[in-house]
Chain A
Amino acid sequence: MKSAVIVFPGSNREGDMVRALKLAGSDAQKVWHAETELPKGTDLVVLPGGFSYGDYLRCGAIAGRAAVMDAVRAHAARGGLVLGVCNGFQILCEAGLLPGILMRNANLKFICHRQFLRVERNDTAFTRNYEKGQAIDVCVAHGEGNYTADEETLKRLEGEGLVAFRYCDAQGRVTADANRNGSMNSIAGIYSEKLNVLGMMPHPENLVEELMGGTDGRGLFESLVSSFPKAA
């Protein structure tokens, strides 16, 4: 499985992302944002976390309009897989690939801590190696992760099962306390209509080896890799 991790000025999680992808068995490479085409045979595009363009204007706003994003849009329109994590999620929303927007955390604080997420469905390319309803232990680190959408969009996301992850406690209970950034319906990640684009605020790439203190993030990368036949 070939993956392309897009690097914008101010991205800073691309190294960990490439590492997590390689660990899961993907042929991962970094791609600079000024490119107008993706490397031939790209199966998965990843927009990593960081502070693209210093979060100027709005988080992800400038990166969402970068040259490479037209190629990412075309890839997604073909049904290609796209994953955006943290700033990558913000970029996907600004680029119009996912609905809604990530607003300033409700408590106005940058939050950085371990966080459980409930896996809402496990029949997608991103989550097939998890159990439905499983509480996975990952990390969050963001100042603008407060998922906000209009009522109609929220109803559609819920109705069509497009919520990927919700903030929860260790037992998988979605509580107000677990929703530290104030996201609507405790939303931590959402899918596009065709389930091929996933945006999520938490960092699965932060917990993929015992040395990091946990391995619950691995399932996501292994799910993605196992969605493709192995190269001969």
Chain B
Amino acid sequence: MKARVTVTLKNGVLDPQGKAIEGALKSLGVEGIAGVRQGKVFDIELETSDRAKAEEALKAACEKLLANTVIENYRVEIA
């Protein structure tokens, strides 16, 4: 079983890296970009084929390590 976890900054949290990328896109002449927020993607392979168990393990992974819930949100997608 495979899953993808996406971690993104919460709204309102300043993202200097996103801002820098936004600036770089502008200077490259890429038009139409209103804003950039940088996040992280984790592709995770699970030992179990039980969906409930997978969800439980992924939630624990996110809460314990993958996201800092002070500033980040996470989203789990199981393939």
Contacts and interface: CB of A to CB of B under 8 A. Distances in A.
Given A61-B65, A62-B65, A65-B65, A108 B16 contact: yes
B30 interface: no
A100 B13 CA distance: 12
A115 B39 CA distance: 32
Interface in B2-36: 13-14, 16-17, 20
A57 B65 CA distance: 9
Interface in B28-75: 64-66, 68, 70-71
Main secondary structure of the interface of B (DSSP, over half): helix
B71 A101 contact: yes
B64 A65 contact: yes
Contacts of B65: 57, 61-62, 65
A48 to B, nearest CB: 21
B7 to A, nearest CB: 9
Interface residues of A, number: 20
B64 A101 contact: no
A203 interface: no
Nearest to B13: A148
A94 interface: yes
Interface in A59-80: 61-62, 65
A108 B17 contact: yes
A148 B17 contact: no
Interface of A: 57-58, 61-62, 65, 94, 99-101, 103-108, 146, 148-150, 182
5 contacts: A61-B65, A62-B65, A103-B16, A149-B70, A182-B16
Given A148-B14, A149-B70, 12 more contacts: A61-B68, A65-B65, A101-B68, A103-B13, A103-B14, A104-B17, A105-B16, A106-B14, A108-B16, A108-B17, A148-B71, A150-B70
